[in-house]
Structure 1
Amino acid sequence: MQRVKDQQHSRSTKPATIHASAQSGDLPAVQRRLRDQPSLINDRNPVMANTPLHVAAGHNRVEVVKFLLNFSGPETVELEAKNMNGMTPLHLSVWHSLRAEDSSTVVTLLEHNADCSAKDNEGMTPLNHLSQGSGNEKLQALLKSYLEQQRKVRAIEACSGTKAKMDELEKELSNLVGLHELKLQLRKWAKGMLLDERRRALGLRVGTRRPPHMAFLGNPGTARILGKLLFMVGILPTDKVTEVQRTDLVGEFVGHTGPKTRRVIKEAEGGILFVDEAYRLIPMQKSDDKDYGLEALEEIMSVMDNGKVVVIFAGYSEPMKRVISSNEGFCRRVTKFFTFDDFTTEDLANILHLKMNNQTEGSLLYGFKLHPLCTVKAMATLIETETTKKQRKEMNGGMVDPLLVNAREYLDLRLSFDCMDTDELLTITLEDLQGGIRLLSQ
């Protein structure tokens, strides 16, 4: 008998859990437990996975709620913690207010910026749990007021982030010479995506944008930068660009092309599949032997509606007509066509300047600079006089890199081995560039 009494006494003197103390409103007990064991601040009970804040909020223990919200220990309270039903402390405090007609705990949580738009496992916000009947008007007005304030704050934050992203986009576009149609389209997409961010921050529900598939007609050479820009403004989940040609897609024997193309498509998911010289998939003249390029094109077409990859077909304008006419669904799926005119001599001079001003440490020309006399106008004149129209058309923007490499080699040849002038050792002159251009023709 004595043993039973001792066990009962032991149970009766066992300290209450922090959840029990929070439920009863025993603030000193809650304070003692957290002083001895601060990690209990977000401890979950075994029944509903409620934290002490859940319990205190659900039983309108305002003083305990205030203490927990202002607790300064190694850990801070999780204001938006969710229990087994996905409810936050604000959800539970609203439930109590409905029963007790006392919204003091709701007010306290809202003053600490509890999220009015948080949803439980059934997709219900605290406001959704309030019926439209009489008696709830004051609480509804309170929640709606804070919800509107929070949406405005989020919209302001989104607006600030939007401007920063647009500024970053403009900075990147300034490093692209020409390509005016594409730049305009990128600005449209970027602005639309960023405005959607603001719409969602205001609680508006809008559809998800998907970038259209495209055809680049000409010789743009912008695949990698395009992937980076689309990722930057949130159109693509990654900046990955998978560049392929016919040999990467087409097999040598029957049954090889389909699996080979599907592997490439799988690798490109989440980014851009850039099919360069796409016209090579469709032979110029029909022959008795089956060509598997059309099979590869059909494989790509079959996945273009699933939204997992953006496809860009690139190639010279005239032969690309074969690709466009080879598949009835091409123009339905590829809705944006961009024609890239050949770069002018001034464009080429601008590209040269941009490349020289943006050399990375691993580049052959890192550390080198142009002489002040190498202005855009002077360079454009030099390119005009030292190259033929045919040469410029064939090489287009691809002329610049080998020209600069040749110019550095010409500089090395021109300098005396005894040169000790650090500025002269790193300065490319008009003479060097002229020598570099002439080497292109050899």
Structure 2
Amino acid sequence: MPGRRMRTSEPNNIHSCAQFGDLSGLQKHLEENPALLNAKNGIMAQTPLHLAAGYNKCDIIKYLLEWRGPVKVEMEAKNMYGETPLHMAAKNGCNESARLLISNGASLEAKANNGMTALHLAIWHARQAMECGIVKTLLEYNADCSIQDNEGFTPLNHISEGHGSEKLRELLDQHIKEQLKFKALKACGEAKAKMVQFEVSLSNIVGLHSLKLQLRKWAKGMIFDEKRRALGLSISATKVPHMAFLGNPGTGKTMVARVLGKLLHMVGVLPTDKVTEVQRTDLVGEFVGHTGPKTRKKLQEAEGGILFVDEAYRLIPAQKSEDKDYGLEALEEIMSVMDNGKIVVVFAGYREPMKRVIASNEGFCRRVTKFFHFDDFTSAELAQILHLKMNFQEQNSSLYGFKLHPFCTIEAVAALILNGTTDKQRKEMNGGLIDPLLTNARENLDLRLDFDCFDSDSLVTITMEDLEEGLRTLCR
């Protein structure tokens, strides 16, 4: 039960001055000893602000709030019950005090030891005093009606049946509806902003239309779930399934996994955006009893994010050997945690060898339910990747500050790659072709520039001539 008003037995101290509204006495005490500003009394561990708020002494409150001494008044100081000054104002029906405190930053969500907020205590006062003034004041400042105390009760749950309770219940019901509407509108605005950010991130992924469609489904689903919860609907949490990325080297599997971690964290699916990249050597030991702890350590590191198992087919050897291989043990360790909801696992590798992994464990297809095929990039897509890399250079990149000549259009670069490479070269390298191509192009720019060149634009512009020579150097 909330505490009753307590009268101090010391009529001349700063606490009694605050309680009885003796402003000149309080000023004198603070001038003599500024440390008394937040001093707690020996009765209920209340500060002068607690007492002024609980007895509606607004002049005292204003003076304490405006005090220009060496320390500031503690708005969220707690008494023996864990109550703040706003709690005191609420449980004693002190409207003016409550307004002063809230307008100066007092927290409406602060909880006492029993978990009650100021609104919980205002309901208690309204029931006793048969008037709703303090409840209306707190609702006017948008006090949250959904916060539960330690017993799981919201302020509405504290309204008992009886005379006057109907008006109080109606007051809270109306505010709850308005609050839910406000939260839904806010969630909708945040959802739209997140979706715009999501689409910008997605635009940096070239090709992979089926994966992008699936990501949009997850993102929109999570964002709509936020809106549903804001409207007070109780729904289950969405879980992202484990995945397999199948394709040749350079098709963007690792890059997409990193982007995926950021996107899933952004829309609230994962608590972190970390992607823990591992290969066989990170998981498999060389002797009995070594693999389990080694794999479990990596799984622990990856919790809350994505575990990206690159070249996962290497866990299952293509040919049986007389020596025991521990790759299957590592795979089984991974499988054992895939149902706990703490991690998303992405297995990556060539399409054909990955069939060994799928066939090696009967629970694989039950747990890994999304398979994404990373096709080889076309010349046009490789040209698009080249443009993206040039347009979004990081400061630690050797190409930071450089740009492409206007003649280096996506169409022109695509034609260059198509005519300057073989199908086999493009299939073997895919996106891995772009970085060395650009590095070679920059080296050619440096080679052809004259030391007498002081044109800043020419010094940082990569031309089609540079790209042509860079590709020839790469393909030799």
Fold shared by both chains (TM-score > 0.5): yes
1:206 aligns with 2:238: no
Identify the match of residue 89 of structure 2 among 56, 60, 63.
56
Offset at residue 224 of structure 1 (A): 1.6
Asked whether 1:110 is paired with 2:109, we answer no
Choose the corresponding residue for 1:378, options 394, 412, 416.
412
User: Residue 245 and residue 22 in structure 1: after superposition, are their counterparts in 2 closer, same or farther (change >3 A)?
Assistant: closer
Structure 2: which amino acid aligns with 1:351?
A: I
What is the distance in 2 between the residues matched to 1:395 and 1:25? 76
2:397 paired residue among 315, 338, 363:
363
For residue 316 of structure 1, report the CA deviation from its aligned partner: 0.9
Residue 136 (1) aligns with residue 165 (2): yes
Matched to 2:417, the amino acid is I
Paired position in structure 1 for 2:316: 282
Which residue pairs with 1:4 in the alignment?
none
Q: Are residues 1:246 and 2:280 paired? A: yes
Q: Which runs of 5+ in 2 are unaligned?
A: 1-7, 20-47
Mapped to 1, the partners of 2:303 and 2:289 lie a distance apart of 23
Residues 66-77 of structure 1 correspond to what in structure 2 (within 5 A)? 66-70=99-103, 72=104, 76-77=105-106
Give the residue type in structure 1 aligned to 2:252: P
1:83 aligns with 2:83: no
Q: Which amino acid aligns with 1:278?
A: A
SS at match of 1:337: strand
Look up the SS of the partner of 2:10 in the other structure. Answer: helix
SS of the aligned residue for 1:11 comes to: coil
Aligned counterparts of 2:420 and 2:475: Cα–Cα separation in 1: 9
Tell me the TM-score normalized by structure 2. 0.85
Q: Which residue of 2 aligns with 1:162?
A: 191
Q: 1:20 to 1:425 in 2, by over 3 A?
A: closer
CA 112–286 in structure 1, closer or farther in 2 if over 3 Å, else same: same
Identical positions, percent: 63
Instruction: Determine the structure 1 residue equivalent to 2:30.
Output: none
Question: Which position in structure 1 is the counterpart of 2:10?
Answer: 11
* 1:170-227 residue CA offsets vs partner (Å, 9 max, x unmatched): 1111111101111111111111111111112222222222211100011433222221
Match of 1:217 among 242, 246, 253: 246
Distance change (3 Å), C-alpha of 1:241 and 1:67: closer
Which deviates the most, 143-152 or 124-133? 124-133
> Out of 313, 322, 340, which is 2:374 matched to?
340
Per the alignment, residue 356 of structure 2 pairs with: 322
C-alpha distance in 1 between matches for 2:455 and 2:464: 18
In structure 1, what is the Cα distance between the partners aligned to 2:308 and 2:55?
Answer: 65
2:280 and 2:315 in contact (8 A); partners too: yes
3-state SS, counterpart of residue 371 of structure 2: strand
Q: What is the one-letter code of the residue matched to 1:103?
A: C
**Structure 2 residue 435 is the aligned partner of structure 1 residue 401:** yes
The answer to whether the Cα contact below 8 Å between 2:64 and 2:73 also exists between their aligned partners in 1 is no
Measure the CA separation in 1 of the matches of 2:61 and 2:403: 68
Match status 1:124 vs 2:153:
yes
Cα deviation for residue 26 of structure 1 reads 4.8
**CA spacing shift, 1:348–1:22, aligned 2, 3 Å:** closer
Q: Equivalent residue of 1:339, what SS? A: strand
Deviation at 1:40, TM superposition (A): 5.2
Which residue in the other structure is 2:44 paired with? Answer: none
Which moves more between the two structures, 352-361 or 29-38? 29-38
1:33 positional shift: 5.7
Partners of 2:115 and 2:149 within 8 A in 1: yes
Give the distance between the partners of 2:9 and 2:344, measured in 1 at CA. 69
- Indicate which of 418, 423, 426 corresponds to 2:457: 423
* AA in 2 matched with 1:282: I
In structure 2, what is the equivalent of residue 187 of structure 1?
A: 216
Q: Which runs of 5+ in 1 are unaligned?
A: 1-8
SS of residue paired to 1:92: helix
Distance 1:233 1:20 in 2: 46
Distance 1:412 1:13 in 2: 85
Report the residue type matching 1:335 in the other structure. T
**Equivalent AA in structure 1 for residue 341 of structure 2:** G
Rounded Cα–Cα distance in structure 1 between residues aligned with 2:240 and 2:475:
41
Amino acid in the other structure paired with 1:55 = M
Q: Distance in 1 between matches of 2:53 and 2:416?
A: 82
Please, what TM-score do these two structures have when normalized by structure 1?
0.91
**CA distance 1:230–1:68, shift in 2 (3 Å):** closer
Query: In the alignment, residue 86 of structure 2 is paired with which amino acid?
Result: L
Identify if the C-alpha distance between structure 1 residues 131 and 296 changes in structure 2 by more than 3 Å, giving closer, same or farther: same
CA shift digits 1:379-408 (9 cap, x unpaired): 111111110001110101111111111111
Q: CA deviation at 1:32?
A: 5.8
Aligned residues between the structures: 429
